[in-house]
Amino acid sequence: MEIKQAEQNQNRIFLEETFYVLSKKNCVFRVRLTKEGLCLIKESENTVKESLIPIRDIIGCRCLRSKKQTNSCACQNLPRSNSLQVVEDTSGDLDDTDVSAYLYIYAYIFPGNKGSARKRERTIITLRFRSFDKYEENHKEAQRWRTVIKKLTKGDEVSITNIHDFSLSHKHKETRKLLVLCNPKSGPGKGKHIFQQKVVPVLQEAEIPYDLHITKHANFAREFVRTSNLFQWTGIVLVGGDGIMFEVINGIFERCDWSEVIRSIPIGIVPGGSGNGLARSIAHYCNEPYIGTPTLPSALAAVRTNHTTMDLVRIETTSQIMFSFLSVGWGLLSDIDIESERLRILGGQRFTVWSLARLIGLRTYNGKLWYIPAGAPVSPPKSNLNNTSMSSNLDLPTEVHLETDAGRPRVDSWYSANSKKSAYFSATGSSYQSTADSGEHRPNADEKPRMFGPASQLPCLTAPLPASWKCISGGFIMVHASYQSHLGEDCLFAPEATLNDGRIWLLIVRGGATRSQLLHFLLGLSTGAHASSQTEGDMIELIPVTAFRIEPDMSEKGYMTVDGEHVEYGPIQAEIFPELGRVMIP
C-alpha cells in the first residue's frame, strides 16, 4: 500500500504542456514534469515515444528572451531557430517583436547509443512559451516551470496545491554560494584553464554564484581556510590535485570551530593535479564515468546538493599532527611520488616513468610495522549511489527545442546551435580574486598554528603498543596505506575501499619480493588486479586495518608521504576517524 502511494507521488504530474516541433508536421511533444523528471512524450502519426530526463541529470534552467537581430529585415518578424539568440529579460537588447519566453533546461544525460562507453552528454531542452499574446504572461508560465524544476533538483518538497503561485512572486532565488580555490601550479599547470573551460559553464547553467581565489604560493589555501569566515559559503570547491585538498583539510583542523565547518561545509575537488586520487575515488564510489571527462563528475557535484561523509585519518609524527584523506606511504611508492616531482611537466605520466627507474634501483627499508586489523566485513557502497537506473538512457540530440503553439507561422524548432561553443551568461554575484596577495594571513615561517580535531584513542607515538596490535619486523620494499579506492587516476589501489568504510587499506611489500613480482604488482595497480592475486604467505599483502604505526630504522634515509606530501622520515602512526569529513558527490 505504502509502495503504491510512493509510486503515485513519484509520478504525480506537477506541470504539463503541449509543445510543437515546427520542422516536423503532425508531431507534438507532451512535456510532463513529475518528481521523477522531465518526461517528453513524442506523438507523431501513429507512434508515441516516451523519454525521461531524470531530475538528478538536470542541473539547472534559465528563463531567457530573444535578442534583437542586428540585421533584421521587416519580413522576418520571428527569429529563425538557427539564428536564435537569447538574452536575460533585463537586457537592453531585447527583440520586442517576439513575445515568447524561452526556458533553457540543462541536463547531463547518458545517451542511448549502445556499444560506446557509458558517458554523460550535455543536452539542452528549450521550451518556448508563446501561448499568450503578452510576453509577461508567457514569462510567468516559463518561471513557473523553472521554479518547480529548481525545487525538484534541490530535493525540496513540491506541493501541487501551490504550484500556481510559483511564478513571478515565488521566483526561485539561489541561496548557495561557493568558495573556489584554484591552484594554478597543480599538475601540468592548467588549473585556471580547467576551471574556466570546464567548471564555469556548469556553474552558470546551474546559476550558482561563486568567489574564486587563485592560490599564490604553497600553503595559501591552508591559511585562507584557517583565517576566513567560511560560513559565508555553502561549499568549498578546490581545483587542483590532492595537495590542495590536504592543505584545506588541515586548514580546517587549525580552526577551533573545525567540527562545525567540517559538518556543514562540504568540499568538492576538480581534478587538475597529476595524481587526482580523491577525484577519481569519488567518481568510482558514485559509479560516474571519469575517463574522457574527468572534470565533469566534479563540476556536477559542485552544482548538485549531494554530499556524503568521508573517513579521515589522524596522523602523528614526532613533530606534528595532521589529518589525511588519502594515503600514508613509506618506501617504493613514496620514492616514486617524491622523486618524480622533477618530471611534473609530464602530468600523470611522471609516475610511470619513475616507477621503471625505481624498479631498476630497488631499495629495501628496515623497520617495524604494527597494526590493528579491521574486524567487520567490508560494507558495499551505498546502493542509492550505485543505482544507475536513476540515470537517463535517452535517444535525444544534444539540443531539443520545443514550442507552445501560438497559431503563428511555424519556424524551425530543432535548434542546433553548437552547444559546445555556446556563449555563457555570467552567474550573478560571482567574484574573482586574483593577484593581490596581502600576505597578512601568512604566519611566521617557524610559527605552527595549533591543530584541533578529535582526540586520539591510541597510545602516543613514543609509548609502547599493547600486545593486541600485530607486529611485523624486518625489511620492507614498501608499506603504503590508502583509505580511498584510487591513489591516482589510473591507480586502483584498494578496489573494495569506499569513501566511508571505516578502513585503512594497508599494502605491505616485504623485502625479498622479486623484481618480476613487483613489476606484476605495479602493472596490476592500474586495474586493481594486484588485490585479487594475493595468496597466503605472499610477499605482497593488502589488509584492512583501523590503525597502524611504522618505526623505520633511523640509520637509513628514505621518504615518507602523507596524501602525496613529503613529511619527515621517522616514526609515524595513523588512526581512522570514520565519516569525519564531508565531500560533494555527483
Give the interface with ligand ATP as residue ranges (CB under 6 A).
183-187, 215-220, 240-244, 247, 273-276, 564-565
- Minimum CB distance to ligand ATP smaller for 44 or for 219: 219
Q: Residue 182 CB, nearest distance to ligand ATP (Å)? A: 9
CB of 315 to ligand ATP, least distance (A): 16
Cell reading at 584: 560533494
CB of 258 to ligand ATP, least distance (A): 20
Please state, in angstroms and rounded to a whole number, the distance separating the CA atoms of residues 201 and 250: 30
Nearer to ligand ATP, 109 or 181 (CB): 181
**Closest to ligand ATP by CB, 111 or 191:** 191
Smallest distance from ligand ATP to CB 218, Å: 3
Q: Which residues, in sequence order, are CB contacts of 420 under 8 Å at separation 6+?
A: none
Residue type, 164: H
One-letter amino acid of 169 = S
Q: CA geometry: angle at 104 spanning 103 and 105, to 5°?
A: 110
Which residue, 391 or 561, has its beta carbon nearer to ligand ATP?
A: 561
Least Cα distance to 195 among 430, 389, 393 occurs for: 430
Alpha-carbon distance of 188 to 409, in angstroms, equals 54
Radius of gyration of the chain measured on its C-alpha atoms: 27
Give the Å distances, CA to CA, from 390 to 287, 385, 548: 12, 9, 40
Residue 527 has what DSSP assignment? Answer: T
Tell me which residue has cell 540543462.
Answer: 106
Contact 507, 481 (CB under 8 A): yes
Give the torsion sign (CA, 557, 562, 566, 568): negative
Q: How far is the CB of 250 from ligand ATP (least distance, A)?
A: 11
Query: Cα separation of 237 and 199, whole Å?
Result: 10
In whole angstroms, the minimum distance from the beta carbon of 266 to ligand ATP comes to: 19
Q: Which is nearer to ligand ATP, 275 or 581 (CB)?
A: 275
Q: What residues contact 510, with CB distance under 8 A and at least 6 apart?
A: 472, 474, 475, 476, 477, 539, 540
Neighbours of 115 (CB within 10 A): 4
Residue (130 or 216) nearer to ligand ATP, CB: 216
Amino acid symbol at 240: G
The minimum distance between CB 350 and ligand ATP, in angstroms, equals 9
Find the length of the chain: 586
214 within 8 A of 247, measured Cβ to Cβ: no
CB atoms within 10 A of CB 443: 13
What residue type is 177 in one-letter code? K
Burial 327-342 (b: 16+ CB within 10 A, else e): bbbbbbbbbbbbebee
Closest approach, Cβ 361 to ligand ATP, in A, equals 22
Tell me the CA end-to-end span of the chain in Å, nearest whole number: 32
Q: How far is the CB of 204 from ligand ATP (least distance, A)?
A: 24
Give 220 or 258: the residue with its C-beta nearer to ligand ATP.
220
The nearest distance, CB 336 to ligand ATP, in angstroms, is 11
C-beta of 216 vs 358, nearer to ligand ATP:
216
Residue 187 C-beta: closest distance to ligand ATP, Å: 4
Minimum CB distance to ligand ATP smaller for 191 or for 381: 191
User: Which lies closer to ligand ATP via its Cβ, residue 281 or residue 573?
Assistant: 281
What's the min distance (Å) between Cβ of 213 and ligand ATP? 11
Q: Cell digits for 101?
A: 519566453
Angle between helices 296-303 and 277-285 (to 10 degrees): 70
Q: Residue 102's beta-bridge partner residues?
A: 64, 128
Which is closer to ligand ATP, CB of 184 or CB of 201? 184
As a whole number of angstroms, the distance between CA 201 and CA 36 comes to 25
Comparing every residue's Cβ against ligand ATP, the nearest one is 241
Specify the residue, 5 or 438, whose C-beta has the smaller distance to ligand ATP.
438
CB 129 within 8 A of CB 138: yes
Q: Which residue's CB is nearer to ligand ATP, number 51 or number 183?
A: 183
Is residue 366 a contact partner of residue 468, using CB atoms and an 8 Å limit?
Answer: no
State the nearest-atom distance from the C-beta of 118 to ligand ATP, in Å. Answer: 25
CB of 185 to ligand ATP, least distance (A): 4
Residues 6+ apart with CB under 8 A from 574: 313, 314, 315, 316, 324, 328, 481, 504, 547, 548, 549
Q: Which residue has the cell 520542422?
A: 23
- Nearer to ligand ATP by Cβ, of 247 and 501: the residue is 247
